[in-house]
Structure 1
Amino acid sequence: MVFDQLRDGYDVVVVGGGAAGLSGALPLVRSRRSVAVIDAGAPRNAPAEGVHGLLGREGTPPQELVERGRAEVRGYGGHVVRGEVASAARDGDGFRVVLADGRAVRARRLLVATGLADELPDLPGLRARWGRDVLHCPYCHGWEVRDQAIGVLATGPMAVHQALMFRQLSEDVVFFAHTAGEPAAEQAEELAARGIRVVAGEAAAVETAGDRLTGVRLADGTVVARDALAVAPRMAARAKFLSDLGLFPVEHPSGVGEHIPAEPTGRTPVPGVWVAGNATDLMAQVAPAAAAGLSAGAQINGDLVAEETRRAVAARRERASSGEAERRRGR
């Protein structure tokens, strides 16, 4: 598509053009706000064949969903701009946003919907299959691998939980202890009770044949045949550009990565900055990310209305005061 040119200033700049960012832009443009959605064009779900769990759009290819959203935002006068934001800083009562190519724009409010980056284990062959038959979410991809031979690679605190979730989808689930070591006694009992075999030893590579995964090779050379592999990556919010505003990613309470903390409305501790989607909620699927963006957009419009009303009241009082002074001088 042809992207819009960036103007000098907007009511709101939305950083990130996925489900959260575009959904956040919609209530703003429908409220006649000037909005620019700045999209770096690197969505997390790009490798996936379809979006799942989104009512009325089940199985829609991610790129098609984004294109529909862009058209909807542009249909109400919003701008969709290709670019990567390098920094954001306070500029008077608003913000100055600078892109990596040197372009700059001013905004009264910011909505950050940049998503997250998946930090994958350094196993040969794994990244190439990510989002296809190397998976992370049973709700996003589980149906597609139902009844197949599934492996779960222990890479974080949620690995046993992940194995139990995928067991709902297949009777053939293997838990690779990998570098995490043997599960604790209670977890080992849970896995055994559900018929999930634990494979000791460190994984060395993901085996493939043509365009499909075939198994996991261990450090001792043993290959365990698998059709799919579940991995819980460490997740990190894409938010380095917020550092000049004093906003930094912090460890998520679940221990699965770093996020930008915010109130349920998306409001951050920095006045005028909201965040929505995976940048703050690391485990949100497309539907809740879009809902959070919609809510944050409405909150931002309400915040702007309140500011404009305060200014209008102050101006009205000043006019009334000036008028009273004129009347007194005319007596």
Structure 2
Amino acid sequence: MAAHARDERQYDVVVIGGGAAGLSGALTLARARRSVLVLDDGRPRNATAERTHNFLSRDGTPPAELLAAGRAEVTAHGGEIAPGVAVAAERRAGCFRVSLESGPPVTARRLLVATGLVDELPDVPGLAERWGRDVLHCPYCHGWEVRDRAIGVLATGPLAARQALMWRQWSADVTLLLHLSPEPGAEEYERLAARGVCVVPGPAAGLEAVDGRLAGVRLADGRRVPCQALVVEPRFTARAGVLASLGVAAEEERSAGEVVGSSVPAAPSGATDVPGVWVAGNVTSLSDQVIGAAAAGVQAAQEINSDLVDEDTRQAVAARRGPG
């Protein structure tokens, strides 16, 4: 690490994003004896969730506790973590200069961007306030916790029937609410009926709670559909502003022909089309759970270190040969 003009500091790698992907990548790089800085804007996607699930040996750990442990491991191996919002990056003389919302910029030989995504929720009053508690999306993240409860599925697109059938695995009491979704076809109705999924037409007007817990969905016509958990399908939008400043654009992501969000295309290693820039986690893979994002961070970090080893070796050979 070296001091630059105006207190700029240079690292082997700057990791943008302090979630599971970013911290896992930073830990791998720090253990490889690389100078690494993690810029953490303090906005983890799962901040509203009570527990992290499907993370072997850590199932049920609160997200904040998991991240605190990760930060401690990174710093114990010499990595640095700083609060900060990266607003742009540019390539200069073989390095990347990252501008921050406040404070001096930092430079790095390589970048790992793990900024995640934003869940854009349907516009239903009361829904956002309960997101991650009893308003849910992923059955593998929360299905066990709401097993055997009354589950409503808020239909906002053509994949809603499939979603209701998926959640039927965790409860026999599943209701499909046709909020902004077309009515299922005859074949879908038969599949839903065969699994005991009730279909209720009419848009939702709001949520109802009793003693702080979700009790049901109020429809626009005044009817009330009881449920203890509500499933929604957000639009998943990649947080790709820093990448856009480098010429790496997010692209539409589709499922069954329907746009479900956006993500940043990358190689399996996380390498983007811009040399020296890698991505990991939900910014490039919308379906990654916490453990998948962590694994992607490790893989990207290994590739980054390998790339730096090649560069270090080229420079050492050039120095050994000397002028001419």
| TM bin (shorter chain) | over 0.9
1:87 corresponds to: 88
Deviation readout 1:141-195 (Å, 9 max, x if unpaired): 1111100000001123432222111100100000011111202333222212211
Greater shift in the superposed pair: 45-54 or 244-253: 244-253
How many residues are paired up? 315
Taking the TM superposition and a 5 Å limit, the aligned residue runs for 1:109-188 are 109-188=110-189
- Where 2:89 maps in the other structure, the secondary structure is strand
Q: 2-side partners of 1:46 and 1:288: how far apart? A: 17
Deviation readout 1:72-107 (Å, 9 max, x if unpaired): 000011001011111111122111101111421001
Q: For structure 2, which runs of at least 5 residues remain unmatched after alignment?
A: 1-6
Asked if the contact 1:215–1:223 (Cα under 8 Å) also holds between the matched residues in 2, the reply is: yes
Residue 294 (str. 1) matches residue 295 (str. 2):
no
- Where 1:81 maps in the other structure, the secondary structure is strand
Q: For structure 1, which runs of at least 5 residues remain unmatched after alignment?
A: 1-5, 323-331
Deviation readout 1:98-154 (Å, 9 max, x if unpaired): 111142100111101111100001111101110000000111111111000000011
Greater shift in the superposed pair: 188-197 or 66-75: 188-197
Greater shift in the superposed pair: 183-192 or 120-129: 183-192
Q: 1-side partners of 2:46 and 2:190: how far apart? A: 34
Q: 2-side partners of 1:96 and 1:205: how far apart? A: 46
Change beyond 3 A, Cα 1:246–1:217: same
% identity of equivalent residues? 61
Q: 2-side partners of 1:290 and 1:106: how far apart? A: 24
Greater shift in the superposed pair: 69-78 or 206-215: 206-215
- Where 2:106 maps in the other structure, the secondary structure is strand
- Where 1:306 maps in the other structure, the secondary structure is helix
Asked if the contact 1:266–1:276 (Cα under 8 Å) also holds between the matched residues in 2, the reply is: yes
Greater shift in the superposed pair: 144-153 or 253-262: 253-262
Q: Which amino acid aligns with 1:81?
A: A
Structure 2 length as normaliser, TM-score?
Answer: 0.94
Highest Rg: 1 or 2?
Answer: 1
2:105 corresponds to: 104
Q: 2-side partners of 1:19 and 1:41: how far apart? A: 12
1:303 corresponds to: 307
Residue 274 (str. 1) matches residue 278 (str. 2):
yes
Q: Which amino acid aligns with 1:54?
A: F
Asked if the contact 2:146–2:229 (Cα under 8 Å) also holds between the matched residues in 1, the reply is: yes
1:219 corresponds to: 220
Asked if the contact 1:156–1:256 (Cα under 8 Å) also holds between the matched residues in 2, the reply is: no
Asked if the contact 2:29–2:301 (Cα under 8 Å) also holds between the matched residues in 1, the reply is: yes
1:329 corresponds to: none
- Where 2:176 maps in the other structure, the secondary structure is strand
- Where 2:102 maps in the other structure, the secondary structure is coil
1:325 corresponds to: none
Any runs of at least 4 consecutive aligned residues in structure 1 with deviations exceeding 6 A, and if so which? none
- Where 2:254 maps in the other structure, the secondary structure is coil
Structure 1 length as normaliser, TM-score?
Answer: 0.92
Taking the TM superposition and a 5 Å limit, the aligned residue runs for 1:14-25 are 14-25=15-26
1:256 corresponds to: 260
Q: Which amino acid aligns with 2:166?
A: M
